[in-house]
Chains A and B, each alone.
Chain A
Amino acid sequence: MKYFFLFIFMSSIGFLFYKGLKIDPSVVPSNLIDEQTPSFQLKKVGKYPLFDSIDLKKQEIKIVNFFATWCGPCKVEHPQLMKLSSSYKIYGIAKKDNPKDIIKWLKNYGNPFDKIGLDNDGISSIEWGVYGLPETFIINKDNKIVYKHIGPIMKNDLEKINAILK
C-alpha cells in the first residue's frame, strides 16, 4: 500500500512540474482582457479635442495609449505611435502630467493622437489597471479590450501589434 501512495505522490508531483514547465510564469494577463473598457473622466489639454468614453463606442478598432512627458520610455515609443497613427485612431491619456509640457511634447515630437485627455489624479489609470508607463490597449469594434502592451512599443513590436489590429 505504501508503495502505491509513493507512486501516486511521485507521479502527481511529476505531472504538475511537467505542466509547469510549459507555462511562462512571467506573463501576467490583464484582468481586463475581453472585458468592456472601464469608464473614465479626463481633463482637457489646451485646444486638443478631449478624449471621452463615448469615443470608444465607435464601431472601429482603436488604440488607447497611456503616457507622460516625464517618462523616458514614452519618448522611445513615440515614433512607433506616429507610424501606427497613420492607419488607426490612437487616443492618448497623459498620466499625472502638466498640460504645458504635453503641448510642448506634441509640438516637438508630433501628435499621434486623435484625441487626448489628462488623468491628473491617476484615478483613470487605476481603473484601467495601469501600473507603469507607457501602456497601450487595443480595443475592438465592440468596445472590448483585446490586447494590452506593457512598456514601450519598440520597432520590433510593430509587427505583432499590426497583426492583432488586423
Chain B
Amino acid sequence: MIAEIGVFFLILTLIGSSFGFICPVLKFHENSEITQIKISKLTFFCTTTSFVILTYCFIISDFSLTVIEKNSNSQLPIIYKITGVWGNHEGSILLWLLVMTFFGFLFACQSKIDSKLKEKTLNVQNTLIFLISLFILLTSNPFERTFPPAIDGADLNPLLQDPGLIIHPPFLYLGYVGSSIVFSISIAILILNNNSKEYFTILKPWIFLSWTFLSCGIGLGSWWAYYELGWGGFWFWDPVENASLLPWLTSSALLHTIIISTKKKSLQNWTLFLSIVTFLLSLLGTFLVRSGVLVSVHAFANDPTRGVFILLLLLAISAMSFFLFLKRSKKFSSKLQINLVSREGAISLNNIFMFTLSFTILLGTIYPLFSNVIFNNKISVGAPFFNSILSPLMIPITLGMMFGPFLKWEKDDIGNLLSRIKILLLILFIVSLTVWYLNFKGPILSVIFFAFSAWIITSSIFELLKFLSFKPKLILRKIPLKTFSQVSAHIGIALIILGATGTSILRIEQIQFQEVNEVITAKNFKVKFLGIKLVEKENYKSQMGFFEIYKNNKYIKTLTPEKRMYNSNKQVTTEAAIHSTIFGDLYIAIGDGNALKKNSWTTRIWYNSFTIWIWIGVLFLVLGGMLSIFRFIKVNK
C-alpha cells in the first residue's frame, strides 16, 4: 500500500509541475510569480515524500517491488539498504528528480531576485521537472510491483557496497542536476531578452554551487574507483567518467566567463551558451549511461524504450534552447573589443582551450558509436588518445592560471606585467631547477608536469603575498575572499596535476606469483607475503591476504587486501589495501592462487607516487568553491 502512496506523490509532482508551463500559456493566474513559487515548493515536497517512501521500502526489504527485489537483499547491512535506493536506474533517476526539485525550491526561496526573472526561471525549471517525472512514470517507475513477491532479493551489486558509494552519487547529481537551475536562469534571461548585469549576477552563485558539487562528486567517484576496482588507477577515461568530466570542464569555463559578464557586460552570449551546453552535456551523459549505447564499467540495466525517451528529451530540449539562443543571442553580444593582453583576454583564451578540450573529449567518447553506425566498424578510443590531447592543452591552461591573475582588467602591457612579476619569474626559475634536480632521472614528461604544478602553486602563493606590505612595518592586509577562493581552486588543480602525473607516469607495477614468506621490493618498500586467511562476514566470505610492509628494514604495518565472494549472487570483488604517505601509495591487490604450486598467489603490487595529492587537490577545489558561495551569501545578507 505504501508503495502506491509513493506513486501517488510522483503523479502529484507530474501534475503540479505541468501547471508550471500551463499557467503562463493559458494565463490562468494573475500573480504568476507566486504560483510558480508554490508549484516549486509543492513538487519538492511531493518528490521528497516519494523518495522517503522508496527508502523506507528498501529498509523494510519490501521484495514485492521489482527494483528492491533486483537490487537489495535481506542480509544487506542497513546502510547499504539505504544506499541501494540510488544503486539502480529507477532509484537514481528519482534522486535526479529530487535534486532538480530541490534546486527549484532553493531558487524559489530566494527573496532578492527580480520577480520577472524568478517567474520565468521557475517556469523553465518546472517544465524540466515535468519532463523528468513523466520519464519516471512512463519508463522507470521505482514502485513497480513484481508478482508473485520474491522471498529474497538478488542483492545490491557488491561493487556498490562501499562507503565511497554512499555519498558519490548524491554529490555527483547535485552537481549534474544543479546545472539545471543555471540552464533555467539562462533560458529565462534569453526569454526576457534583458542583458542587465543584475541578471548575470543572479546566475553566478548557482554556477559556483553546481561546480563545487560536481568537483566533489567526481573526486569521490575517482577515489572509490582507486581503492575498490583494484586496478591501481584513479581515472580510466571510461565513457561515464568522461560524461561527468565534460560538464565540469564547461562549467569551469563558465566560472571564468561569468566574472566578465557581470563586470563588463561582455561575453554575455558566450556565458549563456556555456550554461546551456553544460546542462545539455549532463543530459547527454545520462543518455550515454542509461541507454547502453557505449560500453562502460557503469553498467545499468538497459532498456531501449528508456534510451529512446531520454534521446527525445535531449533532442527536444537542445533544439528549443539552441533555437532560442540563435534568435536572441544578438542582444547579448557586445561590441566591446577584448584586449588579448588583459585579464579578460587571458580568461577568453583559457575558455577557448577549455572548450576545445571538452569538445575533443566528447568526440573521443562518442566516436566509437558513430564509427559503428556510419562505417559499421568497431573501434575503441582509450587512454592514449585522451592523454595525448590533454597534455598539450595543459600548457596554455597552466600559463593562464599562473599569469592570468596578475594581468590588469581591460588593457595591460607585457613589459609592464613582466616588470611587476620579475621576482616571481626568478622564483619560478629556481623552482624549475629544483624540480628538475629532484626528478633528474625521471621521464621528461613527469619533469614538465611537476614543473607545471610547482609553477601554479608558486604563482598562487605569490599572489597572496601582494597583500603583505613591508613598509613601514610588516602588515598583512585583509585578503578578499574571492582571491582566497581563486587561489585555493588553482592550487587544487596544481595538486591534481602533481598526483595524476606521479600516479600515471612514475608508477611502479609488479605482478607475480608470490609464495608465502617471499619478499617483493617496490620502490623503497619491502613487501612480505604471510599467507591467506578465510574470513566470514555477514553477507560475504573473504580471502584475506596478509602482507608485512618494511621500509629501510623497519616494520611499518600489515596490509590486508581481500578478495570477497558475496553469498547471494556469488560475485567476486577485489578490495585493495593501500598504505598512503605524502610521497606515494603502496597499493596491494590479490588475485587467484597458483594451481600448480601450493602456497603461491598472484599478487599485484604498485607504488603510485603522490596519489594522495589528487584527493587533497579535490579538497582545495571544493574549498575554493565553498569560499565563493560563502562570499555570495555574505554579500546577499
- A positions within 8 Å CB-CB of B: 2-3, 6, 10, 13-14, 16-26, 28-29, 70
CB neighbours (8 Å) of B292 from chain A are: 24-25
Known contacts A10-B318, A14-B311: A20-B373 contact under CB 8 Å: yes
CB neighbours (8 Å) of A3 from chain B are: 323, 326
Q: Which B273-331 residues sit within 8 Å CB-CB of chain A?
A: 287, 291-295, 304, 307-308, 311, 315, 318-319, 322-323, 326
In the bound complex, CA of A34 to CA of B378 (Å): 17
- A17 near B319 (CB under 8 angstroms)? no
Determine whether B426 belongs to the interface, using a CB cutoff of 8 Å to chain A. no
CB neighbours (8 Å) of B311 from chain A are: 14, 17-18, 21
Determine whether B374 belongs to the interface, using a CB cutoff of 8 Å to chain A. yes
Determine whether B596 belongs to the interface, using a CB cutoff of 8 Å to chain A. yes
- B308 near A18 (CB under 8 angstroms)? yes
- A17 near B287 (CB under 8 angstroms)? yes
Number of A-B contacts (CB under 8 A): 53
In the bound complex, CA of A122 to CA of B33 (Å): 73
Residue of B with least CB distance to A23? B372
Across the A-B interface, give the 5 residue pairs with the lowest CB-CB distance, nearest first. Answer: A20-B293, A19-B373, A20-B369, A21-B307, A25-B295
In the bound complex, CA of A24 to CA of B294 (Å): 8
A sample of 13 cross-chain residue pairs with beta-carbon separation below 8 angstroms, ordered by A number, consists of A14-B315, A16-B369, A16-B370, A18-B308, A20-B293, A20-B373, A21-B293, A22-B304, A23-B373, A24-B292, A25-B293, A25-B372, A29-B378
Determine whether B405 belongs to the interface, using a CB cutoff of 8 Å to chain A. no
Residue of B with least CB distance to A27? B378
Determine whether B438 belongs to the interface, using a CB cutoff of 8 Å to chain A. no
CB neighbours (8 Å) of A21 from chain B are: 291, 293, 304, 307-308, 311
In the bound complex, CA of A21 to CA of B301 (Å): 14
In the bound complex, CA of A21 to CA of B326 (Å): 29
Minimum CB–CB distance from A87 to chain B (whole Å) comes to 31
Residue of A with least CB distance to B308? A21
CB neighbours (8 Å) of A14 from chain B are: 311, 315
CB neighbours (8 Å) of A20 from chain B are: 293, 369-370, 372-373
- A6 near B315 (CB under 8 angstroms)? no
Main secondary structure of the interface of A (DSSP, over half): helix
- B596 near A25 (CB under 8 angstroms)? no
Determine whether B595 belongs to the interface, using a CB cutoff of 8 Å to chain A. yes
Determine whether B368 belongs to the interface, using a CB cutoff of 8 Å to chain A. yes
Residue of B with least CB distance to A6? B322
Interface size class of B (residues with CB under 8 A): 20 to 34
Chain B 342-378 per-residue mask, 1 if CB under 8 angstroms from chain A, else 0? 0000000000000000000000000011101110001
- A17 near B323 (CB under 8 angstroms)? no
Residue of B with least CB distance to A22? B304
Minimum CB–CB distance from A152 to chain B (whole Å) comes to 15
In the bound complex, CA of A18 to CA of B373 (Å): 10
Minimum CB–CB distance from A120 to chain B (whole Å) comes to 16
Minimum CB–CB distance from B475 to chain A (whole Å) comes to 56
- B293 near A17 (CB under 8 angstroms)? yes
Known: A23-B293, A25-B293. 10 other contacts (CB 8 A): A13-B315, A16-B374, A17-B287, A20-B372, A20-B373, A21-B304, A22-B304, A24-B292, A25-B368, A25-B372
Residue of B with least CB distance to A5? B326
In the bound complex, CA of A21 to CA of B369 (Å): 9
CB neighbours (8 Å) of B369 from chain A are: 16-17, 20, 25
Minimum CB–CB distance from B226 to chain A (whole Å) comes to 25
In the bound complex, CA of A39 to CA of B369 (Å): 34
Residue of B with least CB distance to A26? B295
Chain B 362-396 per-residue mask, 1 if CB under 8 angstroms from chain A, else 0? 00000011101110001000000000000000000
- B287 near A25 (CB under 8 angstroms)? no
In the bound complex, CA of A58 to CA of B370 (Å): 42
In the bound complex, CA of A24 to CA of B370 (Å): 13
- A28 near B322 (CB under 8 angstroms)? no
Residue of A with least CB distance to B329? A2
In the bound complex, CA of A16 to CA of B370 (Å): 7
Known contacts A13-B315, A14-B315, A16-B370: A6-B326 contact under CB 8 Å: yes
In the bound complex, CA of A20 to CA of B366 (Å): 10
- A6 near B319 (CB under 8 angstroms)? yes
CB neighbours (8 Å) of B294 from chain A are: 25
Minimum CB–CB distance from B157 to chain A (whole Å) comes to 17
Known contacts A20-B293, A23-B372, A70-B595: A28-B323 contact under CB 8 Å: no
CB neighbours (8 Å) of A29 from chain B are: 378
In the bound complex, CA of A69 to CA of B322 (Å): 60
Minimum CB–CB distance from B174 to chain A (whole Å) comes to 27
